[in-house]
Amino acid sequence: MSPGWVTGMVRPLCKTFPRRFACSKHSLQAFSERFEVTVEHSSEGTALADGAVPKVVAHRSSATIRFWLMLAGLLVALIAAIVLAVAIGAVGIPFATVVQVILSHLFPGSVEATWSPTQDQIVWQFRLPRALLAVIVGAALAISGTVLQAMVRNPLADPYIFGISSGASVGAVAVLTLGAGVVGGLSLSLAAFLGSLGTMLLVYLLAQQGGSAAPTRLVLAGVAVGYVLSAVTSYLVLRSATPGGGAAAVLYWLAGSLGGAKWEYLGLPSLALLVAVLLLLLQARPLNALLAGEETAVGLGVNVERFRLQLFLITSLLVGVVVAISGAIGFVGLMIPHITRMLVGSDHRRVLPIATLLGAVYLVLVDLLGRTLIAPQELPVGIVTAALGGPFFLWLLRQRRPGGGA
């Protein structure tokens, strides 16, 4: 223990508290030198006279360093995961070739072509778009789940809490079972997106009262609308449960899949993700305040009603766009935020970027497993996320000390 620490000053009853401030600016340098030798633990209930400041600084900087290391590690992991996902499959492609093919398309003429046109096609036309779709979907679900859990202050919230996936399902299943002609010639994705958009508006209108929508009402409205729409989906599926009626295609879509990935499908989702991530990253502080409680957030200067509406719109649109292409992939948006909080705590300034990257890495790897585990058949990614993620999450949960930190 450094000499500045005073121990044994146990809470004095009704005494005035030490009123010393350590506020001089140049003292920070001294602190940063001191905290490295400062012993981390001080017995509980011990009051500090000096030394509290270096402790705070030490805490903040060690957490900050860990955060940046983790962020850098995840970026590297993301690139590695993409290369891995592109290399592995029915036809194996060497890592070097994967990188060369990608470079040759990004910067034409930069690499001399030593690979076959088939390899080029596998990498550029099939596997890379699919890996990138996994990145987009994983990131979008993870950040939406994080934000929505904070918004409704409920650890069970996921990106589909407002019924958005049920709306998308109705749209998609209508196309699959009734045929595109019946729903006005809409494509599967467009029908799904319109379904989610309609649901989102319906839920908001149903939940609002006197110009504002409390989170509990939003969740309840979302759940209720979700049930009704699930009934519609089930009815459509049963109706079509005849040979050639599309029931298998429906089940496949409902489980969620990245199989349909093409370059031309990536534009809108990646734009939506980019805009949403930028907007949400800027809201980290108000999100912290909101997670602490509505009254706290108001006391800290957050315009809670307007803020909630913003969050609702951003996440709903993002999730709607993503669900329209991939189906309702479960579990990522529920689990990744919690894993992230276990790693870096609840401060959204760290949680948001880490969760976004973690979700992306996770879905790329899970999709890779899904298409290789029982090759040549393919497991829908939604099944793999839940089957793998569930046990892993439970294991992680059991690792934690009761009430302990991240």
- Residue ranges in contact with another protein by CB under 8 A: 11, 13-23, 25, 28, 40, 42, 44-48, 51-53, 55-57, 59-60, 149-150, 153-155, 210, 282-283, 285-286, 288-289, 291-296, 298-303, 341, 345-347, 403-406
Q: Which is nearer to another protein, 55 or 371 (CB)?
A: 55
Contact between 2 and 39 under an 8 Å Cβ cutoff? The reply is yes
Closest separation between CB of residue 210 and another protein, Å? 8
Strand partners, 46: 10
- Render 247-259 in DSSP notation, one character per residue: HHHHHHHHH---T
Closest separation between CB of residue 273 and another protein, Å? 19
Closest separation between CB of residue 3 and another protein, Å? 16
Q: Is the dihedral of CA 218, 397, 364, 277 positive or negative?
A: positive
Closest separation between CB of residue 53 and another protein, Å? 4
Residues 6+ positions from 159 with CB-CB distance below 8 Å: 140, 141, 144, 145, 148, 165, 315, 319, 333
Closest separation between CB of residue 36 and another protein, Å? 16
Structure-block tokens of residue 72? 């850098």
Q: Which is nearer to another protein, 112 or 398 (CB)?
A: 398
d(CA 237, CA 26): 70
Q: Which is nearer to another protein, 288 or 385 (CB)?
A: 288
For the chain, how are helix, strand and coil distributed in percent, rounded to 5?
70, 0, 30
Q: Which is nearer to another protein, 43 or 242 (CB)?
A: 43
Closest separation between CB of residue 225 and another protein, Å? 25
Q: Which is nearer to another protein, 14 or 90 (CB)?
A: 14
Question: How remote is the C-alpha of 259 from its chain's centroid?
Answer: 20
Backbone phi and psi for residue 401, each to the nearest 5 degrees, phi listed first: -70, 145
Task: State yes or no: cis peptide before 376, omega within 30 of 0.
Answer: yes
